[in-house]
Structure 1
Amino acid sequence: MQHPVRPRRSVLYMPGSRQRALEKARTLPADALILDLEDAVAIAEKDTARSLVAAAVREKGFGRREVIVRINGLDTQWGEADLEMAAFVAPDAILIPKVEDPDTVTYVARRLATLGASDKVAIWAMMETPLAMLRAPEIAASHPRLACLVMGTNDLVKELHAEHTETRTPVITALGLCLLAARAHKLAILDGVYNAIKDEEALAQSCRQGKEFGMDGKTLIHPSQIDVTNRIFAPSPEEIDLAKRYVAAFREAEAAGRGVAVVDGRLVENLHVETAKRLLEQAEMIGALEADLAAAAE
């Protein structure tokens, strides 16, 4: 199953039990929105949240942004009802919490087929326990509907009995294992949240680290984190200019019968051109998304 490539610089969790938050989500410049039925919703509000999220997805109004519904775990009393609702209203994806084995993904995929869900409804998997890290390759290969791995670093730190650090040394191995699994099976992967919502510089440092690792973007817990995350995960004007020059120089080299080009004193081979084209495609998609948001705000 071929999943469309989309901007996922900033992916914001929004509590499904708060009507005003769901309405505000339509105006926020996040690339994607996770309408949450799990951690952000109190037990007493689970049924109400399910109804609110169902209505929000049916009403649309989110433009080009991806809309994802995070259901409760299938081992809870709410998980199956959440899944049935999501299959019916058809968000862009359904996010399964605490995935620890490929069977969980394949079960959800079978249920979606049985419920008549559109093939366009993808599955995303939360990776947030030690067992998930050890089974990351099997989970990533589990089913064609699976499109994205989402790092749940808060839960992972808790399960490891580790500490939150600025360098994130305790979870580097876990991030690497999931990144390898995602790329091996052509999946997207999103970095975990940053908890200090008022520390923009520390958030920026975390974003830069995630981008250097190869993450597609970052999950967020507050709208104030969107602008910083969008800026860092987007290609810079300098990167876009260099990518264009790589593509142009290599095209000229090929026309002259050469297999390499030279740009700014550096050899440019086909692998560099592929990276440059991917960056330019990302920049184009981001531009379209931002233009859509600007038009909606007028």
Structure 2
Amino acid sequence: MQPTILITGANGQLGSELRQLEDRYPAFNFVFLSRADLPLNNFEMIRSSFKAYQPVFCINCAAYTAVDKAETERDLAFQVNAEAVGILAAVCKEQDCRFVHISTDYVFDGTATKPYTSADATNPQSVYGASKLAGEQQAMELNPDSIIIRTSWVYSAFGKNFVKTMLRLMAERTEIGVVNDQLGSPTYAADLAEAIMQVIASGKWYPGIYHFSNKGIISWYELAVAIRDSIGSSCRVNPIPTSAYPTPARRPAYSVMDSSLLAERYGIAAKPWQERLKACLQQIEKAPH
């Protein structure tokens, strides 16, 4: 019998990219559940779903990701990003299911000058970041066998993200302003999905916190310029400081992730962001979502 992988948050960017990998991993049976299928605040419903599907692995892609809205919807952010994670982690432990949880660069304060490792001190500066850190703590406390993968600047052909926003704005306008004083490592969700599946398919299980992003350090402005140049747009992209674009939630000024632990333990090498951005743009052009 094929081992089952249960995936929550099935309709998001990462869940959608995991769905694309189903045919590449025929040794596994994939079960994709959206928030409508599985309300994450319902302990008994989660437990009964696990009993019904009997998963060997659970990948939690479900998250409250409205960073600015979270500042005024604190309870909802914590319910989805922390309490629900604790429930999933506890049920996984109870049902002998291995738990993979996805977290974020927002658990850091962005004051570093070198790429963040999983051993670096956390200090979230927003409600969203605090809720995601609380989720990590819940997972590790209730199920120390969990694997947590933090990622940053996620984009894909699916859902809403920076790359798709830039494509829309460049089609609508002749000039846009993009912040140039926030640095990070973009992550193509297809690569994150592949990294997770490589961990699961490896037959090895090393619990703990890992980081994964594509290789390279850039600003949002530089990413916007790369998008413009790749599609041959004539839209002018102007660099602006974060102070010129105030938002309710504070963004980390530095979000570069060190993915070396995942490479060391699982042999998963991060690919350069430039080539992966091109791959995503080709995917969007081929089949826009």
Pair member with larger Rg: 1
Shorter-chain TM range is 0.3 to 0.5
TM-score, length-normalised on structure 2? 0.34
Highest RCO, 1 vs 2 (Cα 8 Å, sep ≥ 6):
2
TM-score, length-normalised on structure 1? 0.33
